[in-house]
Amino acid sequence: MEPRLETYGLANVGEVHHNQTTAALYEQAVRRQEGNIAHLGPLVVRTGNYTGRSPNDKFIVREPSSEEHIWWGPENKPFEPENFDRVYARLTAYLQGKSIYVQDCYAGADKNYHIPIRVITEEAWHSLFARNLFIQVKDAHELEEHVPEFTIIAAPRFHAVPEFDGTNSEAFILVHFGRRLILIGGTSYAGEIKKSVFTVLNYVLPQRSILGMHCSANLGVDGDSALYFGLSGTGKTTLSTVSDRRLIGDDEHGWNDQGIFNFEGGCYAKVIRLSKEAEPEIYECTRKFGTVLENVHLDMENRRLDLDDDSLTENTRAAYPMSHIPNAIRKGVGPHPKNIFMLAADAFGVLPPISKLTPEQAMYHFMSGYTAKLAGTERGITEPKATFSTCFGAPFMALHPRVYADLLRQKINEHKVDCWLVNTGWTGGSYGQGGRMPIQYTRAMIRAALQGSLRKVQYAQEPVFGLYVPTSCPAVPADVLWPKSTWKDEDAYDSKGRELAELFRANFKQFEDDVAPEVLQAGPQI
């Protein structure tokens, strides 16, 4: 049963393409000059001015059904219903006479909890992106009966008028929980589609006692699953996509009473300076038919890629289905995790490369969500910048952080999960002086934690943050484990440590009334 677009106010549109296959969408994208086909088959597109998310342009409509639940503030800015109606009316008028692409799919691999969604786009490649990133409906009868709970309409060529529409710029991402509708315009960056759905899941599922998590997940040969929390650019995809463990998902997951499950059906990986040797699985995905490459440099004469070219952005991306990863778990589900890794790209070069967290420290660092925003992941970010994003995903957490923190604490305690803080950022100095932590060392430390090797070694407590640091780790030099020993100037290290500790404490003041005293005391003691 083809969707009735009139339900969404979409009348007098041009040709409507329902649930087209990958090959058909390729043909449409090339015919419409939306992208080019590179050597071996990936589709290369450009997103124009917006090469990353635009958090200042995302709003949640203030309406009765959701108003009392939303964590209002800088991350969840209110938008008035009458302004939403105005933008919606102009958007539907804009789409008259234009070709429309519709993808019906699911968000959530666990069939008991998945959310049916519909993605309506004016670009063929955006429809392919949705087909890659979300869970496809394979059964023809099921597809006919598909009734979406939420619908996304993405029209990047339609621009808002800020002084008229109440937006901050020509770009907008408007989430209306009451009408179960998301409007996106003014930006071609496809990550806005993906993260809008994530926001929806993080609103709906916790109210059903299911934790939504900004993390990747994989499964070992012994059936042990692991979670990797972190913001974009901290290494979630890289560290979870390895040959000796099966990938469950690379970015978004839920945790229910049965275990964990992927929210998505594909991956959205950063590919700038991707190494064939260090990241072979992801590298191969950049050379496959069906992959969408955003803002990757393409030599138009020989159709070869240059993954080292950052002339358009540092935030070059590959969107590909899970089937492109040979050892991925297609069902997207796994057992309760045995290990949780919280990834932070520390631009100060202060945090240890790996440390064991007490349950209280795990709560503290989960609610802190410290990292450095890396160049290109958001508009205006040109070099690493220290930031705190609660739950490692504040822009996508519609409810108050304590909701997610309480759920995580319950599950960690119930399932006796080991928690680790991993610094994938700088060592030997802060940004501009030290260097990025070698990926082979990070992999070795995580492997040792997963295999239980780090349970057999001694630990020393770091003095400022109180973190428990292993004194030895297989395949990692001992001096690398203790960050102060990698700095030439120990006084400079101490100074940076105090500076970062003060930032932690200042940020956590917002949660002082929402956490137990032992969690508050788990932070840095200055």
pTM: 0.94
Contact indicator for 172, 59 with CB cutoff of 8 Å: yes
Indicate if the pLDDT at residue 382 is higher than 60. Answer: no
Residues 446 and 504 grouped into a single domain: yes
User: Can you give the pLDDT at residue 2?
Assistant: 59
Residue 182 lies in a domain: yes
Residues 144 and 233 in one domain: no
* Amino acid sitting at position 164: F
| Longest CA span, the chain | 70
Q: In CATH, what number is assigned to the domain containing residue 442?
A: 3.90.228.20
Q: What is the CATH number of the domain that holds 20?
A: 3.40.449.10
pLDDT for 188 beyond 90: yes
Q: Phi-psi region for residue 380, left (φ > 0), alpha (ψ -120 to 50) or beta?
A: left
Same domain assignment for residues 230 and 88: no
pLDDT (0 to 100) of residue 352: 97
Side chain identity, residue 230: G
For 1, the token pair is 């049963």
Domain membership flag for residue 138: yes
Q: What SS3 string covers 41-90?
A: CCEEECCCCCCCECHHHEEEECCCCCCCCCCCCCCCEEECHHHHHHHHHH
Kindly report the average pLDDT of the chain as a whole number: 94
* pLDDT attached to residue 380: 61
- The answer to whether position 380 is within a domain reads yes
Of 407, 406, 364, nearest in space to 388 by CA: 364
How remote is the C-alpha of 520 from its chain's centroid?
Answer: 27
The verdict on 411 and 470 lying in the same domain is yes
Q: Is 208 exposed, middle or buried (0-12, 13-18, 19+ CB in 10 A)?
A: exposed
**Which of 166, 188, 208 delimits the end of a domain?**
208
Over pLDDT 90: what percentage of the chain? 92
One domain, residues 148 and 257: no
Evaluate whether residue 305 is within a structural domain.
Answer: no
Return the active site residues: 53, 195, 214, 232, 236-237, 251, 317
Task: Find the domain containing 188 and state its range.
Answer: 13-32+54-208
pLDDT of 66 higher than 90: yes
Q: Are residues 195 and 250 in the same domain?
A: no
pLDDT for the residue 432: 85
- Look at residues 169, 191, 208 and tell me which one is the last residue of a structural domain: 208
Domain boundary among 208, 230, 246: 208
Q: In the structure, what pLDDT confidence band is assigned to residue 372 with cuts at 50, 70 and 90? A: confident
Do 175 and 128 lie in one domain? The reply is yes
- Total domains present in the chain: 2
Q: Is residue 154 situated within a structural domain?
A: yes
Same domain, 231 and 113: no
pLDDT in tens, 78-107: 999 999 999 999 999 999 999 999 999 999
**Mean pLDDT, rounded, for 443-460:** 96
pLDDT at 377 over 60: no
Give 231-257 pLDDT, tens digit per residue: 878 899 999 999 999 999 999 999 999
Q: Phi, psi (5° rounding) for residue 330?
A: -60, -35
My answer on whether 96 and 115 are in the same domain is yes
Are 257 and 344 found together in one domain? yes
Crossing angle between the packed helical segments 22-31 and 124-133, to the nearest 10 degrees: 150
In a domain, 102, yes or no: yes
Confidence category of residue 351, pLDDT binned at 50, 70, 90: very high
Identify the pLDDT of residue 375: 56
pLDDT at 166 over 60: yes
Same-domain pairing of 259 and 201: no
Mean pLDDT of 151-155: 98
Same domain, 350 and 405: yes
